Every structure is written in structure tokens, then in C-alpha cells.
Amino acid sequence: MTTVGKVLVTGGVRSGKSRHAESLLADAPAVTYVAAGPRYDDADWAARVAAHQARRPVGWSTAETRDVGGMVEAATSPVLVDCLGTWLTGVIDDAGLWDAPVAAIEAHVRGHLDALLAALAATDQAVVLVTNEVGLGVVPEHRSARLFRDLLGTVNQQVAAACDEVHLVVAGRVLRL
């Protein structure tokens, strides 16, 4: 059944988040699938992307972009964003900010996040966003990992507040929060 409203789907790596998110929009005749992260140049990543692409129905179109807010704003059909974790990585990578002061990184991310939040508030389309749940384990040793964890936690909280529902996927099982 096509999801009405906005849903954030979160969980760990390989938990079944993307498959669940796709199922929420399976009945929609047209969906824009926003692949928001960087493209890595290795066989494992290529295989993961190919598996995702093979699952998508024929009527779905794919946009590879970091302009997630712009895609949601322009949407005339449901949108699936996969995923906010890779999107965040790409936003920081594109600006070359991993070694910048935290305040500069936060300000840069904030601009992208504000555009997404405004688009979510304005759209009448169904929007399903996939993200990773990070920070349930130990404090990472490296600055970039701590920074990513903290920023994604903030992104997830803000996007969750803008959504009608949040689904936590654990071991392929879905908990509606």
C-alpha cells in the first residue's frame, strides 16, 4: 500500500531498511528514487547498488543527487530517499570539510538539512527516507567517525520530527515508533 505522508525508516546496516522502505511505496505507479550518497569505486559497492536497482519496479525513476530537498520540493509523485547517512557523507565530502572546525561543518550541513526540512513541510507527496541508526555502540576512536555519528544523530532527530511516522528495522522486523 502506498504510504500517505512522510516516513523515516531507520536501523542498522543490512537490517532490511531499504527493502522495507521500498515496500511502503510498492503500489505507487511512479516513484522517484533519490540515491543521495557518493558512488564508491569498488566491486562490493557496485554489487550493492545493482541489487537495489534490480528490486525497483519499472515505473520508478532514479536520481543520483545530494539535492534531496530540491528533489522533494519538485516531486509530483512519491519519493524514496536512500539514504541520509550516505547523503551526509557526500555533503561533507563534496565540500572537503572533514578536517574543518566542527562549527563550519555543522553550518554547512545545516543549510542542506534546512532545505530538506522545508521541502518536507511543503510537499503533499508521500516521502519515505532511509537512514542509519548510529551511536548505539562505543564512542568511535577517530574524529571523523565521532563527527559523522553526532551529525547523523542530529539529522535523524530533525527529520523524524518532520515525519508522520518513524519505523525502526531490526533483523528484518519493523517496529513503528
- pLDDT, tens digit, 9 for 90 and up, residues 79-98: 999 999 999 999 999 999 99
Exactly one of 20, 52, 108, 142 is catalytic; which is it?
52
The CATH number assigned to the domain holding 104 equals 3.40.50.300
- For this structure, is 112 an active site residue? no
Residue 1 lies in a domain: no
State how many domains the chain has. Answer: 1
Residue 22 lies in a domain: yes
Helices (H) and strands (E) in the chain, counts: 6, 7
Residue-by-residue DSSP string for 72-109: HHH-SS-EEEE-HHHHHHHHHHHHT-TTS-HHHHHHHH
> What does pTM read for this prediction?
0.91
Domain span at 151:
6-176
Q: What is the pLDDT of residue 138?
A: 84
The per-residue pLDDT for range 98-107, each reduced to its tens digit, is 999 999 999 9
The per-residue pLDDT for range 148-175, each reduced to its tens digit, is 999 999 999 999 999 999 999 999 999 9
